[in-house]
Amino acid sequence: MDLLVVGSGPVGATVARRVRDLVPGASVLVVDAGPAVTGPPGRNVHNLPAADRAEPRHRSAGRYPAVGAGAVTPRFGTGLLRPADPEGDEQDGMPAAALSTCVGGMGGHWTCATPRPGPAERSPFVGSDDLAVAERLLGVRARPYADTAAGTRLLAGLRDALPGQDVGWMPMAGGPGEWGGVDTVLGDLDRQPGFLLRPETLCRRLLLDDGRVVGAELECLRGGRRWVVRSRAVAVAADAFRGPQLLWASGLRPPALGRYLNDHLAVMAWALLDLDDPPRHPEPAEPFDGEWRDLVTGVLRVPWTSGHPFHGQVMLADLGPLGPRVADPRPLLSLTWYAAKEIRARDRVTFSAERLDAYGMPAPRVEYGLTRADRDTAARAAELVSTVAASLGEATPGGEPRLLPAGSSLHYQGTVRMGDDPRTSVCDRDGRVWGVDNLVVGGNGVIGWPTAANPTLTSAALAVRSAAAVARMIQGV
């Protein structure tokens, strides 16, 4: 086999797709520990009717806890990395860290925001050409929503509230009616000869010999059968917890492995948008049985700049009397301001040689907390969000700005970080693991520099770069 890809999320799919584009005859196997919960595999669950989403979301949580404590609740389609501690701080130990275990990974449940990183958060590792290829593979649209009176009012209101900022519509993968997912990236690849996607297949360890990966030990989780596959190149495109877990279990333990764990500080508030002539909706004949996401009619973004060190995301919903929080004809806004955390080596995930997790892999332990600077940054974000919300409309009961529990963003980064120094990074700027010629890592975990924007596009662009390196490995050049 030419390439083994561990993990079938947006990054794993990008590596597989791009390698096949560059080397059309390459044989590629993609494995994922989770089941295929949609057809085609990796399709965004938001595309299903609301009544049909519960079962695939439940299966996507895998063997991880599905219930938190207090404000710690995992997102749809995920399970908590560890049981919640009702006595713990909402930030220490990253209590809201959650994982999705299914074909497509988080790509089966995401909200599809794919902004380009701004100049203040752009790394020299991220090339403009790679970003463009990633946008094409993910199906990014600059304007996924149609113009509405509420959207026009919101855009003008944000520009008035944040003069000088480049406020605009959020680029998104897909759009209303067909949200993007891994099936978008793969296209017809799963129907082509030489490509195989195996769900419910766990990679237990990589087999190493003289600075190269020569194979991998796989296990079918439905029957327990184990076997070894041989591959000329391997791409580990798991999340920021299970990627370093596999490397650690394989005896690959560079100094930076698991360190520099980073999650965006996320401050969120809710408000009702003021309109001169708010729409009037008839009372529904039946209670609304969908979810807030189904009512979103626009998403705007406020990028990080030197004068605005945050990434703002404002979602607009035309709720009428159907809203989950208020019976009001005005559209409901959710305002989330992401901020970069202070990156420290001491924020990390470690693994146990004695204890195992629910999948029989080395159990993770998260050491994570906020600095005084982080809490000051969060306070500044809350103050700004409060001011912006007040300028746009009326606060909703319980919708005041609050710092979400650590892990809530699902934007975990840094644990297999990219860099130029083997002492402080796990991989080079092509994603190649230091000291291993034919192994690349991908995913949000490779992002090791301060960012605030949604990371999927950046990770996919880095995967495009890594795929080019893998193609060279396969071709022997």
List active site positions.
411
Residue 418: partners with Cβ closer than 8 Å, 6 or more residues away = 123, 125, 425, 426, 427, 428, 429, 431, 446, 447, 448, 462
CB 253 within 8 A of CB 244: no
Return the DSSP state at 3: E
Q: Give the containing element (helix H, strand E) for 175.
A: strand 172-175
CA angle 138–144–148, rounded 5-degree value: 170
C-alpha distance across the termini of the chain, in Å? 17
Establish whether the linkage from the previous residue to 329 is cis, with ω within 30° of 0: no
**Integer angstrom CA distances of residue 315 from 95, 113, 297, 335, 338:** 25, 11, 8, 7, 14
The amino acid present at 42, given as its one-letter code, is: G
| Closest of 308, 377, 299 to residue 165, by C-alpha | 308
Residue showing tokens 């360190």: 259
Q: Residue 334 belongs to what H/E stretch?
A: strand 332-339
> How far apart are alpha carbons 273 and 317 in whole angstroms?
10
**Residue type, position 285, single letter:** A
